[in-house]
Structures are given as C-alpha cells and as structure tokens.
C-alpha cells in the first residue's frame, strides 16, 4: 500500500494556451501563458506560487518560468520522467509536496512546440543524447523508432489475443472527434469525420492508421494545486485529488516492454488503478466520466480494462455500446482528447477532468459528475488520478 494523500490537495485553477500547429513563440512563452491563465482562473497572484512540477521532457526550467511570471521564492520543484507517463505524475508530485507541507501552492505545467518544433512522430533517430540512447539502439537499426510503431507492436498482439477489431479503435477515434468537433479550442472543431475517412486514411504502422494517432500540437496547459484550507477562499469550486498514484512495473521499458512473458498488457496501469482506488475508497462504479490518455486509439481500450470498467478483452464491446459518448456509461475525453483537441502530453486532460467535476466542460454530460478519472500515457511508467468535488 502507498501512503494515503486523499483530499490533501485541491485543483483550484486551470489554463490552456491557444493550440496551434505553429505557435510562432517560444515554449517558455507558452508555459507562462498557460500558467498565468491558470493563476487568473484561481484568482491568485504569481507570487502565491511556491512550487512547480513538470516533465523531464519539458524544456522550460522552473527558474526561467518563475522569473518570467514574477513568481518569487520556490520551495519545491520536482520533475517526472517518461514522456506522457508524467502527466498525472506531476499531479502526484504536487500532491505529495502539498500534503507534506513542502509547498502550499504548486503549478503543474507542460508547454511544447510539438508540431513546429521537435516532432515525436519523427522518431528517436538522430540527436538522441539521453541516457536511454542504448535502449533505443535495440530498435533503431530495424526502423522501429516512432511512438506509433511501438504502440502498433502491442496493438497487433493485443488484438490477436482478444479478438478486438478495428471497429473498437474506430469508436474511440470517432467518439473523441465528435467531442472535438464541438470544442472551439480543438483542432477538430467543426470538422466532419466518418468511417469512410477513417478507413481511407494512410497506414502509419499496422494496424494503426492516421486517425488512430493523436495530434501534434504547439501549446501549453497548467493547473494550480493547493491545500484544502486555501482552496476554500478561492474563486473556483475546488476539485479535490481523491487519489493519485504512479507505477513502473516489472521488466518495464519505455514503450518497448517486449520482454515480458506476455507483453500485450499494461500492468503498470493496473497497479496504479489498484492504488488509486484503495487511496480514494472508490471503485470503477463511482467514476462518472474520464479523461483517458489517448496518444493512440487502442491505448484507451487497454486503460478501460486496467481501471476495471470492463474485463480483459471486453473493452471493444464496452465502447461499441456507446460507453464513451456523452450519454454513455463513461463519457470520455469530452474535450476531444489528444486525438482531436491537442496533444499537450496529457496536461490538457487534467484541465478537462477538472472541468468535468466543476460541470463546465464544453461537452458536459447531463448527469452529475462526482468523480472523474484522469490518466497518463501508457507503454511507459504511468499513473492516474481520481478527481472529485471538494467537500
């Protein structure tokens, strides 16, 4: 069991920049714009921030962000590793810092020029100078060097083991795009999308086609987290972190855990789910809506299984019954997800999960959302969190 930090931290502000394919500004500019928007949303001042949590992949040094924003003293700054697996891990860091008193008000942020700058779809070729270069070396010479190709390798085996077909992948791709079409901030805003277009799109890496893959975007997202005491005095209704966890499972590689006895699965997310449920005292039945990390359509299906919304291999039928739709069992990725809003490494997902609990999503379900799940990227060390209305 992990330490219990249930309801020790509360999200009080959220902010996004405009999402684009070419921001024309620095990543630092995007970061401070997103954070400023979140601070304003909360009704705070930059000087109220005393902690920061972001991704190891983020290029915006905390001290640069602090100086640009006019934040004074920082008493906590922690980074989380593993690409999109860091999304809720940053929230995990912020929550731990607040629960232990290391900081009172922490901003979680991520900002990137993911389309006009370095594109992940270009693969890991070239100027890799990180310590995991050796790891990628087992795949690069063979041409297996893009996120889509690694996820494709898992997907092929998972579809083989479960019998789930592309009908289910399409339902994920389509449901998020319908949400995106109704979200003015989304790339897919106002855009039609149907099965014919999905099927006709180019193959990226079998079985993934273009519309199984997320956007590449320029933009930034931020959330402000603080103590319940502080939260009560602020402008927005508090959204409490009921439970949060991260996990790297046995024999884990980054995106290429091909050496497990059975690699068509995400045990690191199963452990995260178990710990978040234990911490919060909640179960899958208590979750009313979700933001499930969707860099690629199939990974949403695996996570539905890992979080116990359905059994192993049953996620295809689960989504085909309309579960992800606004009137379904689990309205999911109501902002359009990273498949159709923007790819801000999952932090725009924390923003949307907060909105779902506040009741302010552009695609807010008719039912009351008492609890929303938000998750990080998979195939890598990952995690998730359950957000709920502050008591």
Partner 1 sequence: MTTEELKAFEDEIYAYVGREVCPPTPAKDDVNVAMIRQWAEIIGDTNPAYTDADWAANSARGHTIAPPAMMYVWGQEGFAVTTGRAPDAQSDLVSLFNEHGYTGVLGTNVKQEYFKEVSPGDNVVMEMTIDNISERKTTGRGPGYFFETLATFSNQHGEKIGTQRFKVLKFIPQEQPAAVASEETLQVPTRIPSPRGHDNKWWWEACDAGKVLIQRCKSCQTLRHPPRPMCGKCQSMEWDSIESTLEGEILSHTQLHHPKIPGYQYPLVCAVIKLSEGTNFVANIVGCEPSDIHIGMKVKGAVEQVDEKTMLPQFYPA
- 77 near partner 1 (CB under 8 A): no
By the 8 A CB rule, do 244 and 134 touch?
Answer: no
Minimum CB separation of residue 386 from partner 1 in Å reads 32
- 199 near partner 1 (CB under 8 A): no
- 256 near partner 1 (CB under 8 A): yes
Binds partner 1 by CB under 8 A, chosen from 53, 264, 273, 390:
264
- Give the residue ranges of DSSP H helices in the chain: 27-42, 62-69, 87-100, 133-136, 147-162, 166-181, 195-200, 228-231, 267-280, 297-306, 315-320, 337-340, 347-358
Minimum CB separation of residue 256 from partner 1 in Å reads 7
Secondary structure letter of residue 84 according to DSSP: G
- 128 near partner 1 (CB under 8 A): yes
Burial class (CB in 10 A: 0-12, 13-18, 19+), 99: middle
Minimum CB separation of residue 206 from partner 1 in Å reads 5
How far apart, in whole angstroms, are the C-alpha atoms of residue 194 and residue 208? 16
What is the maximum span of the chain, computed from C-alpha positions, in angstroms?
A: 57
User: Which one, 129 or 196, has the nearer CB to partner 1?
Assistant: 129
Binds partner 1 by CB under 8 A, chosen from 26, 156, 364, 370:
156
User: Which one, 171 or 216, has the nearer CB to partner 1?
Assistant: 216
By the 8 A CB rule, do 199 and 79 touch?
Answer: no
User: Which one, 147 or 346, has the nearer CB to partner 1?
Assistant: 147
**Tokens describing residue 362:** 């552009």
| Segment near partner 1 (CB under 8 A); pick from 103-111, 154-162, 191-199, 314-322 | 154-162
User: Which one, 22 or 251, has the nearer CB to partner 1?
Assistant: 251
In degrees rounded to 5, what are phi and psi of residue 108? -100, 125
User: Which one, 62 or 216, has the nearer CB to partner 1?
Assistant: 216
Q: Cα-atom radius of gyration of the chain, to the nearest Å? A: 19
**Tokens describing residue 287:** 């979750």
By the 8 A CB rule, do 177 and 188 touch?
Answer: yes
Name the residue with tokens 């024999």: 251
Count of residues interacting with partner 1 (CB under 8 A): 38
**Tokens describing residue 93:** 């860091």
Name the residue with tokens 């799109």: 201
| Segment near partner 1 (CB under 8 A); pick from 43-51, 84-92, 95-103, 200-208 | 200-208
How far apart, in whole angstroms, are the C-alpha atoms of residue 170 and residue 199? 9
**Tokens describing residue 159:** 């579809």
- Annotated catalytic sites, by residue? 293, 343
How far apart, in whole angstroms, are the C-alpha atoms of residue 252 and residue 257? 5
Binds partner 1 by CB under 8 A, chosen from 118, 135, 230, 274:
135
Minimum CB separation of residue 37 from partner 1 in Å reads 34
| Segment near partner 1 (CB under 8 A); pick from 80-88, 167-175, 214-222, 255-263 | 255-263
| Segment near partner 1 (CB under 8 A); pick from 72-80, 90-98, 117-125, 290-298 | 117-125
The residue ranges that bind partner 1 (CB under 8 A) are: 121-123, 125-126, 128, 133-146, 149, 152-154, 156-157, 160, 202-207, 256, 258-259, 263-264
């Amino acid at each position: 069991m992990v330490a219990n930090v249930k309801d020790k931290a509360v999200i009080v502000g959220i902010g996004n920049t405009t999402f684009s394919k070419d921001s024309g500004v620095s990543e630092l500019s995007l970061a401070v714009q997103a954070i400023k928007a979140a601070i304003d949303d909360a009704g705070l001042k930059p000087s109220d921030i005393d902690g920061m949590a972001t991704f190891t992949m983020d290029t915006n040094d905390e001290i640069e962000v602090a100086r640009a924003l006019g934040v004074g003293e920082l008493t906590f700054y922690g980074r989380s590793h593993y690409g999109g697996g860091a999304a809720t891990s940053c929230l995990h860091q912020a929550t731990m810092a607040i629960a232990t008193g290391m900081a009172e008000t922490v901003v979680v942020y991520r900002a990137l020029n993911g389309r006009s700058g370095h594109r992940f779809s270009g693969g890991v070729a070239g100027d890799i100078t990180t310590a995991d270069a050796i790891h990628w070396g087992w795949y690069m010479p063979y041409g297996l060097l893009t996120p889509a190709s690694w996820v494709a390798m898992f997907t092929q085996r998972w579809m083989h083991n479960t019998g789930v077909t592309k009908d289910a992948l399409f339902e994920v791709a389509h449901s998020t795009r319908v949400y995106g079409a109704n979200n003015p901030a989304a790339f897919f805003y106002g855009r039609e999308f149907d099965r014919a277009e999905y099927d006709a799109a180019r193959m990226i890496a079998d079985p993934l086609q273009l519309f199984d893959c997320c956007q590449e975007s320029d933009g930034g997202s931020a959330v402000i987290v603080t103590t319940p005491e502080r939260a009560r005095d602020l402008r927005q209704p508090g959204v409490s972190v009921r439970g949060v966890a991260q996990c790297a499972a046995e024999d884990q590689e980054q995106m290429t855990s091909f050496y497990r006895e059975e690699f068509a699965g995400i045990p690191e997310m199963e452990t995260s789910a178990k710990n978040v449920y234990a911490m919060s005292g909640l179960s899958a039945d208590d979750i009313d809506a979700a933001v499930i990390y969707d860099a690629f359509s199939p990974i949403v299906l695996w996570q539905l299984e890992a979080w116990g919304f359905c059994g192993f291999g049953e996620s295809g039928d689960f989504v085909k019954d309309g579960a992800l739709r606004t009137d379904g069992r689990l309205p999911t990725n109501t902002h359009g997800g990273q498949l159709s809003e923007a790819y801000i490494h999952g932090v725009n997902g924390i923003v949307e999960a907060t909105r779902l609990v506040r009741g302010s999503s552009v695609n807010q379900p008719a039912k009351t959302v008492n609890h929303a799940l938000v998750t990080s990227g998979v195939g890598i060390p990952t995690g998730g969190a359950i957000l709920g209305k502050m008591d």
